[in-house]
Structure 1
Amino acid sequence: MADHHLKAPVERPTRLEAPSSTEARKSEPATTEGDQSSAPPPRLKRQRVRTALFALLPVVLLVSGYFYVTGGQIISTDNAYIQADHVGVSTDVSGLVASIEVKDNQPVVKGQVLFTLRPEPFEIALAGARAQLSNVRNQILNLQANYKQAQAEIDQAQIDLAYYQASFQRQQTLVSVSAVSRTNYDDAKHALDSTRQKINVAKATAQMVLAQLGGNIETPVEQQSTYLVAQAAVDEAQRNLNNSVVRASFDGVVTNVDSLQVGAYLQPPQSGISLVSADQLWVAASPKETELTHVKPGQPVDISVDSYPGVQWHGTVDSLSPASGSSFSLLPAQNTTGNWVKVVQRIPVRIRIDDAADKPSLRTGMSVQAEINTGSARGVPHLFSGLFASQAHAHE
């Protein structure tokens, strides 16, 4: 009975096969002939781009040459800094600091007292010089009196000389006829000789006094050499006393005040404090030597300071240094050695600031961007000279 039962058919899963490449190509939509003709091949695109670049190359060269030839009149350098008059305030006399009248970073005006030294030593020296001047004046007056006295003695001796000459002649006549004794003759001769000697001594005394008076008795006391020497000592003592009070030599700002203390001994040329000018400002620029072909004094300059973005100052080229900056260095470069290498030098240029009063405050040492308008473009000769120089350099 089991044999008569039929087994049910077993269903097997169907396997999906991927379409062949031929069928896939058949299923894709075919491109039309019109679409193939509209898309250019890649080689044609490259040829068009290359042609466009070659066409633009002369235009680019012409534009670049134009800007090069017409440019170059603005010389720009950032190797520039603000400079100002500054001095270490000191005095040429020695002494102890008595007082300090200013504070650090305080604005001062010309003639304002900065600090003082103890005045007592200078006052004593001045009093001594004045006393010596008075003593010299009295000595000159005494010499003038001595000269007048010597002249009076000469005049008196001249009168006596005439008398003794006459008396001697009489005694000489009388003694020849033995009318008087030889003693009377000798006395008359001695009196005559003494009078002559007195005249010589008086004249020598007068000459000595006159020499001490400068050779002219009529010269005023205040013009005598000894008086002038004594007066100079008084002036020196007065100057030392005045210099014990140290004042500002110009308007500015004092700094480094804390380095000076009351009671410190200050001697020249030791600096007490520093004074920086608030008005005498300029720009010290150092452009390259190759950029100074057309730079001259009087040319306008645009100045910008890193501390104040967007603010511009106007200035003028004041002067150009006669030597490069390296020429003033402590150890200048020696170009005679075998390993010489050419280095472009920098020439200091001083630029005057014309409108510093109307802008923010500038301080010494600030970095500056300076643009000098030379008014002279490079020009066509400069372009060709540069090309020739580059070709010669390439041949080398």
Structure 2
Amino acid sequence: MSTQSSEKSAENPETSTSQGNDATPPRRHRRRRRVGRSLIRFVLMLLVPAVALMAGGYYYMHGGRYITTENAYVKSNIVAISADVSGRVVWVGVDDNQPVKAGQALFHLDPDPFQVKVAQYTAEMDNERTEIESLRADFQEAITLAEEERERVRFLQRQFERQKLLKARGMAREEQYDEAEHELRLAMQKVRTTEQHANRVLARLGGDATVPPEAHPRYQRAMAVRDEAVMELDDTVVRAPAAGIISNMKLQVGEYVEEGEAIFSLIENEEVWVEANLKETQLTHVTEGQVATLVVDAYPDQKWQARVDKIAPATGAEFSLLPPQNATGNWVKVVQRVPVQLAIEPHSEAPPLRAGMTVTVSIDTERERELPPFAQKLYDQVVSSASQLAQGMGLGDSGLGKWLNAYAVNGGNGNATRAN
């Protein structure tokens, strides 16, 4: 048997050699697979924790930069439309939800009572003008009469002096002297009376008889009353104070409206802003002028750019009808919210924004938190090692490899996000 086997082997030496060569490759493949699996395990054991550590560090440094809230709403000026005078409605020119322009007539009140007042006060103004002209004429007459009486006093004074001289010489009777003295006293008294009358007339003229009637206080007062009546007549036509949309319109012809009573609303559409109610803990690094991104729930595919315009000086609770009384015994700490006003940048192709719409706001504070020195050093070492490992694995051109390389080149200053 052994002899036969040897003979067969000798006869077929090529067959034996080929079987030995065929058994070698599987062992090599198995060895390579074991080495590859070990290398993958080693790489994953290093790379996965490194990536997790880098992701955690990146989130810590950049996580506090953006302040986001869904407690934000579109705001606009809402004007309560009312009449400045009381009256009955005779014409209504707008409907509910109708856009209007500034100055457009909204409704009319009955003008007849106000036209009667205008006519009445116009007549009173003309009457004041006539009376002032009459006072001016009376004053001129009083001045002329006073001058005539003074001239008569001078004449009687000369007669009295002659009678006094004749009496001293014994050439005049006592009766003539007394009569001359009496006439002089009466004339002087009449001069005083006439001057007092002229002064009273002058006082009624405002102290200046040369002033025209239009400048007299009495005439100006009457004219002011007339002008007020004209303004009330003009107020019977109620106009839109600004451009906007009519809302809550229920006014009908024939209704009686009171002065100052809110009848319906006008929502202005020229100026729209967003009011975000941020938690007080979110305001640490929020300042005026910072950029924000807005997403309106009604238009989830649209984005608006805005900026922080104003920050309220107090929390919303301070303006409520019943402010919280924290001095009581039962006190629970509640995070307060502060209204922040955001000015929307012009957007020509944007859909219309309506007051009350819900908005998601994201404010870029441009602030990045810093790791402690030891953590930053460890973080930089991990990123550098991961970058070298990625380069060794041929992943340098991948997104992860570019990010790691950019971070390592920038020295861990957080600018790795700029790498493409």
Provide the TM-score with structure 1 as the length reference: 0.79
- Structure 1 distance, partners of 2:310, 2:354, is 21
Q: Secondary structure at the match of 1:230?
A: helix
- Go from structure 1 to structure 2 and tell me whether the alpha carbon gap of 1:59 and 1:356 turns closer, same or farther (over 3 Å shift): closer
Whether the 8 Å CA contact 1:303–1:315 is kept in 2: the answer is: yes
- Give CA-to-partner distance per residue, 1:203-228, whole Å, 9 cap, x none: 21122122222222233322211111
- Structure 2 distance, partners of 1:218, 1:369, is 73
Q: Corresponding residue for 1:277?
A: 268
Matches within 5 A, 1:1-396: 60-61=52-53, 63-257=55-249, 259-380=250-371
More helix by share: 2
- Go from structure 1 to structure 2 and tell me whether the alpha carbon gap of 1:197 and 1:331 turns closer, same or farther (over 3 Å shift): same
Q: Corresponding residue for 1:9?
A: none
- Give CA-to-partner distance per residue, 1:300-357, whole Å, 9 cap, x none: 2211110111111112211111111100000101111222222111111111112254
- Structure 1 distance, partners of 2:47, 2:347, is 52
**Count of residue pairs the alignment pairs up:** 336
Paired amino acid for 2:71:
N
- Measured after TM superposition, the shift of residue 380 of structure 1 is 4.3
Whether the 8 Å CA contact 1:103–1:254 is kept in 2: the answer is: yes
- Go from structure 1 to structure 2 and tell me whether the alpha carbon gap of 1:301 and 1:191 turns closer, same or farther (over 3 Å shift): same
Unaligned runs of 5+ in 2: 1-30, 32-40, 376-420
- Structure 1 window deviating more from structure 2 (64-73 vs 234-243): it is 64-73
- Measured after TM superposition, the shift of residue 55 of structure 1 is 9.2
- Structure 2 distance, partners of 1:327, 1:356, is 35
- Structure 2 distance, partners of 1:187, 1:296, is 101
- Go from structure 1 to structure 2 and tell me whether the alpha carbon gap of 1:322 and 1:174 turns closer, same or farther (over 3 Å shift): same
- Go from structure 1 to structure 2 and tell me whether the alpha carbon gap of 1:55 and 1:298 turns closer, same or farther (over 3 Å shift): closer
- Measured after TM superposition, the shift of residue 63 of structure 1 is 3.4
- Give CA-to-partner distance per residue, 1:116-136, whole Å, 9 cap, x none: 001100100111010011011
Paired amino acid for 2:260:
P
- Measured after TM superposition, the shift of residue 163 of structure 1 is 1.0
Q: Secondary structure at the match of 2:167?
A: helix
- Measured after TM superposition, the shift of residue 269 of structure 1 is 1.8
- Structure 1 window deviating more from structure 2 (349-358 vs 112-121): it is 349-358
Q: Secondary structure at the match of 2:337?
A: coil
Q: Secondary structure at the match of 1:294?
A: coil
Q: Secondary structure at the match of 1:341?
A: coil
- Structure 1 distance, partners of 2:358, 2:137, is 74
- Go from structure 1 to structure 2 and tell me whether the alpha carbon gap of 1:367 and 1:237 turns closer, same or farther (over 3 Å shift): same
- Structure 1 distance, partners of 2:343, 2:105, is 30
- Structure 2 distance, partners of 1:379, 1:224, is 79
- Structure 2 distance, partners of 1:317, 1:287, is 12
- Structure 2 distance, partners of 1:228, 1:358, is 56
Unaligned runs of 5+ in 1: 1-37, 39-48, 385-396
Whether the 8 Å CA contact 1:82–1:366 is kept in 2: the answer is: yes
Paired amino acid for 1:217:
A
- Structure 2 distance, partners of 1:254, 1:206, is 63
Q: Corresponding residue for 1:46?
A: none
